[in-house]
Amino acid sequence: MKRTMKIGAGVAALILIGATGFLRGRGETVSAAASGVKVVNDGLIAAPGRVEAVSEEVRVSSELSGRLKTVNVEEGDRVVQGQVLAELENSDYRARVAGAEAELALREAELRKIVNGSRTEERREAEAAKQAGKAVLENAKSETERRRGLAERGVISRDEADRYERAYRVAQAEYEQASQRFALVDVEAREEDRSKAEASVAEARAQVAEARAVYEKSFLRAPMNGVILRKLRHTGESVSTQFDSPVITMADDSVLRVRLDVDETDVAKLRVGQQAYVTAEAFGDRKFEGKVIRVGRILGKKNLRTDEPTEHVDTKILETLVELNPGEKLPLGLRVDSYIAISKK
């Protein structure tokens, strides 16, 4: 009987010890889940994180209101900086460019005319008219003097002499007019006329630049190399500058980063440059390595939540950024478990 009681007491003691150990282990697990941090060992800081691109997510919107003529990309497409992602209906903008360019051509022609002066043919014509007027004047003068002498000797009447006098004055006027015409054609452009023409050309060029700039805004171009994440608008849909209406979202995923929620109890252990790695359930035991490149300066609320009912939602965290090594590939937005090696001092 005593032997049976001793065996029963021993079994009870073993059950009690096992239950105590289970409850202690259960308490640690609950505590870790509640804080959002996995306890690994004393040499690592563990925290939940989310994968993001080096550029984060970029929303590509139109600077003009209008209707989309084409959207040239699909989700997952790779694009290069400057590539046309979408185009607005822009025939009116293109017409404005053509009109501004025509006005510029007209202003430039006017400037050339002022700078170059009259054509050679016009100069020759004006000079010939001047020379002809001079010959007529000299002939009229000679005839007038001869008729005046004949009238004084009574060979001809005074009226006839006066008629030649009047013809001489007319020849003088015509010669003066031809001389003025030649001077006007032959003279260089006045400074004020040239300055005015140059100002007109400058204004026309500015109008061309403005028209081209507006026309260029009807094309939505990729701001960087990257991948298309979302196609939010389609051909035929309207966009407006009055409210937020992005057409495309994209990101530069050439380098991946992980944004961590590090528990406030571990912030003193964080340093820029610490080695780190992340794991994801979908990739099994594979480790994706990197290093800490940024440590936040202010504590805040959690960004990442688990489905654990015991999770502490009021826990303060410090955002920390880990950059993965070149060549590491993970889907953007993937939730991961992150581990940072604590620096030894």
How many CB atoms neighbour CB 159 within 10 A?
8
Long-range contacts, stretch 161-166, CB < 8 angstroms, 24+ apart: 164/140
Beta-strand ranges (E) seen in 35-182 are 44-53, 58-60, 66-71, 78-79, 84-88
In 3D space, the residue among 339, 341, 340, 337 whose CA is nearest the CA of residue 48 turns out to be 337
151-175 residue pLDDT tens? 777 767 777 777 778 887 887 888 7
- Amino acid 229 reads L
Question: DSSP characters for 225-248?
Answer: SEEEEEE---TT-EE-SSS---SE
Res 32 pLDDT > 60? no
Supply the pLDDT for residue 342. 86
pLDDT band at 7 (very low <50, low <70, confident <90, very high): very low
Q: What is the mean pLDDT of residues 243-267?
A: 91
Alpha-carbon span 88 to 218, nearest angstrom: 5
pTM for this predicted structure: 0.61
The fraction of the chain above a pLDDT of 70, given in percent, is 77
Lowest-confidence range among 115-124, 128-137, 285-294?
Answer: 115-124
pLDDT band at 293 (very low <50, low <70, confident <90, very high): very high
Alpha-carbon span 333 to 143, nearest angstrom: 108
- 62 in Cβ contact with 56 (< 8 Å): no
- 55 in Cβ contact with 226 (< 8 Å): yes
Supply the pLDDT for residue 16. 42
Q: Give, in order, the Cα–Cα distances in Å from 135 to each of 128, 132, 175, 179, 232.
A: 11, 5, 9, 13, 85
Half-sphere exposure of 264 (CA within 13 A, CB side): 10
Q: Cα–Cα–Cα angle for 276, 280, 283, nearest 5°? A: 115
Lowest-confidence range among 138-152, 228-242, 273-287, 299-313?
Answer: 299-313
Alpha-carbon span 326 to 345, nearest angstrom: 28
- 157: its two tokens: 């009447």
Q: What is the mean pLDDT of residues 132-156?
A: 76
Lowest-confidence range among 56-60, 85-89, 213-217?
Answer: 56-60
Helix (H, G, I), strand (E, B) or coil at 77: coil
pLDDT band at 179 (very low <50, low <70, confident <90, very high): confident
Res 21 pLDDT > 50? no
Alpha-carbon span 28 to 189, nearest angstrom: 95
Alpha-carbon span 142 to 281, nearest angstrom: 119
Supply the pLDDT for residue 37. 42
Q: Which residues lie across from 260 on neighbouring strands?
A: 49, 320
- 148: its two tokens: 């005046």
- Amino acid 295 reads V
Burial class (CB in 10 A: 0-12, 13-18, 19+), 279: middle
- 144 compared with 84, residue with greater pLDDT: 84
Supply the pLDDT for residue 150. 73
Check if CATH label 2.102.10.10 holds for domain 65-89+218-246: no
pLDDT band at 4 (very low <50, low <70, confident <90, very high): very low
Q: Cα–Cα–Cα angle for 218, 222, 223, nearest 5°? A: 105
- 339 in Cβ contact with 280 (< 8 Å): no
- 85 in Cβ contact with 60 (< 8 Å): yes
Check if CATH label 2.40.30.170 holds for domain 35-54+253-341: yes
- 7: its two tokens: 């065996």
pLDDT band at 36 (very low <50, low <70, confident <90, very high): very low
At which residue do the structure tokens 């252990």 appear?
269
198-235 residue pLDDT tens? 899 999 999 999 999 999 999 999 999 999 999 999 99
Question: What is the separation, in whole angstroms, between the first and last Cα of the chain?
Answer: 62
Alpha-carbon span 289 to 286, nearest angstrom: 10
